[in-house]
Amino acid sequence: MPVRHQERHRIGRIGWLRATVLGANDGILSTASLVLGVAAARGTHSNVLVAGVAGLVAGAMSMAAGEYVSVHSQADTEQADLARERKELKVDDKGEHQELAAIYVARGLDPPLAKQVAQQLMAHDALGAHARDELGISKTLRARPIQAALASAGSFAVGAAMPLLVTAIAPVAGLIPLVAGTSLAFLTLLGALAARAGGAGVTAGALRVTFWGALAMAVTAGIGALFGTVA
């Protein structure tokens, strides 16, 4: 019996990869920007640290809540569509066969073959066939709210800890350049790793994250300096 070859595709990573990259990127960027803003406003070293810790905790909880609510809404929509499809299969089985066959015809199968494929797939798992080919819902891409929330919160906390650690050990005089420089380095590395994991261009991914990170930190530091001068 021949050994079945199972290919591993990157699309299976999209759920956790998106949440993890988004969380870590936000953790580094928002915490570094917050620290730089308070430091530029002439806050004391302890004030800067307190602001950074508060940003880590608040950001992680916000990311978890936001991801859970957002992805749960997607899951609710999927469940509603599946319930509707389940009802339609009971009410009009013949019509659902024709609908599925028409989908396969539109994808290039001859009508007789499309009809045969629809019959066999529906005999095996009617709801699964319609979920996959009519609704675009698959096991790989199905919404997982808890997984997304935990991945976002955990990765945010890890990302935020990086500029916070630099803030804790950096001398007051060099705090701003050290936090800004190391945070940009962290963002560049994150962008490169995320691009590599997703199969995209590493250089483009790293530059994209670094550019927007530098812009965000520069704007926040500028606003902090402005308020510090006014105060």
Closest residue by Cα to residue 217 from 189, 182, 170: 182
Mean pLDDT of 129-151: 75
User: Does 133 map to a domain?
Assistant: no
d(CA 168, CA 108): 62
Helix (H, G, I), strand (E, B), or coil: what is residue 122? helix
Q: What is the pLDDT of residues 193-204, one digit of tens each?
A: 777 766 677 788
pLDDT grade for 9, boundaries at 50, 70 and 90 = very low
User: Does 195 map to a domain?
Assistant: yes
Mean pLDDT of 36-53: 91
Q: CA 190: distance to chain centroid?
A: 13
Q: What was the pLDDT predicted at 145?
A: 81
Q: What was the pLDDT predicted at 85?
A: 81
Mean pLDDT is lowest, of 37-41, 46-50, 179-183, 198-202, for 198-202
Of 2 and 157, the one with more pLDDT: 157
DSSP of 59-91, one letter per residue? HHHHHHHHHHHHHHHHHHHHHHHHHHHHHHHHH
CA distances from 77 to 82, 133, 137, 145 (A): 9, 17, 11, 13
User: Does 197 map to a domain?
Assistant: yes
pLDDT at 1 over 50: no
pTM for this predicted structure = 0.68
Q: What was the pLDDT predicted at 27?
A: 92
User: Does 128 map to a domain?
Assistant: no
User: Does 41 map to a domain?
Assistant: yes
User: Does 107 map to a domain?
Assistant: no
Count structural domains, the chain: 1
Q: What was the pLDDT predicted at 141?
A: 60
User: Does 125 map to a domain?
Assistant: no
User: Does 38 map to a domain?
Assistant: yes
Domain limits at 85? 13-92+144-230
